[in-house]
Amino acid sequence: MPFTSAVITFPGSNCDRDMAVAMEEVCGGTVHRVWHGDATLPEGLDFIAVPGGFSYGDYLRSGAMAARSPIMQAVVEAAGRGVPVLGVCNGFQILTEAGLLPGALMRNAGIRFVCREVPLKVENSQSLFTQRYFKDQVITIPVAHHDGNYFADAETLDRLEGEGRVAFRYAEPVNGSQRDIAGVLNAAGNVLGMMPHPERMIEAAQGGTDGRKLFEGVLAGLNVSA
């Protein structure tokens, strides 16, 4: 079976095309574009991406409205069946609001929008998404967000660390995130949310290729042909 994936588009998403191109480029196969108002996902998905942007104009809270849209119920259900789900930036905010990942993403501690390349340390190199990296490897991936300040209570943070669910950590202060957390996994390891944009580091022309290995990992882990 060829690799089959989907990118969800909400009103206000703006990284959906970049995500689809990255998935096509690295994973191959078929990338379905799914609209937020759809109630069902295409059959037989190997991978779902919830992209960045400003879904619903960030009304109420970043990701809050998108998390309650019809398609997200289908995404939550698919995640429960073990389908890999990646949420980047606004996608991460949506996954926390939908309850797929713990914690919340608050306004950056410095108030300002942060848009630059940041060094990320790979904390867990055993997950589906991070298996092509080395533990403690420092990679460069861009961020572009206003609400990336990861918050969870100390007990939750301790649990995440203890269970190896911190996938990536900022190697320098970026947005005030608790313990510099940049990306977290769910308990089953098939859902990853992260603020940095791996889909923007796929080809040398983009300034680097450190994002490729994330998509390569997903492809390798699923044992399907590109």
Partner 1 sequence: MKVRVHVSLKNGVLDPQGRAIHHALEGLGFAGVKDVRAGRLFELDVADDTSDDALDDMCRKLLANMVIENYRIEKVAA
- Applying CB under 8 A, the site for partner 1 has a residue count of 19
Q: Is 173 in the site for partner 1 (CB under 8 A)?
A: no
Please give the residues from 188 up to 217 whose contact with partner 1 meets the rule CB under 8 A.
none
Would you say 2 or 99 has its CB closer to partner 1? 99
DSSP string over 12-51: TB-SHHHHHHHHHHHH-SEEEEEETT-SSPPTT-SEEEE-
Per CB under 8 A, the list member of 48, 79, 106, 143 interacting with partner 1 is 106
Q: Is 97 in the site for partner 1 (CB under 8 A)?
A: yes
- 15, 27, 36, 89: which one is catalytic? 89
Which amino acid is residue 151, in one-letter code?
F
The H or E element containing residue 94 is: helix 90-97
Would you say 17 or 107 has its CB closer to partner 1? 107
Per CB under 8 A, the list member of 104, 144, 171, 224 interacting with partner 1 is 104
Active site residue 199: yes
Sign of CA dihedral 68, 61, 90, 126: negative
Measured CA to CA, the distance from residue 215 to residue 191 in angstroms comes to 13
Would you say 111 or 204 has its CB closer to partner 1? 111
Q: Is 138 in the site for partner 1 (CB under 8 A)?
A: no
Active site residue 115: no
Measured CA to CA, the distance from residue 211 to residue 201 in angstroms comes to 5
Please report where in the chains the tokens 């919830």 appear, as a residue: 50
Can you tell me whether residue 191 is helix, strand or coil?
Answer: strand
Active site residue 89: yes
Please give the residues from 54 up to 83 whose contact with partner 1 meets the rule CB under 8 A.
60-61, 64, 68
Per CB under 8 A, the list member of 151, 206, 208, 222 interacting with partner 1 is 151
Measured CA to CA, the distance from residue 12 to residue 15 in angstroms comes to 9
* Residue of 72, 68, 78, 52 whose CA lies nearest to 193: 52
Minimum CB separation of residue 163 from partner 1 in Å reads: 18
Measured CA to CA, the distance from residue 79 to residue 186 in angstroms comes to 10
Active site members: 89, 197, 199
Binding interface with partner 1 (CB under 8 A): 60-61, 64, 68, 96-97, 102-104, 106-111, 149, 151-152, 176
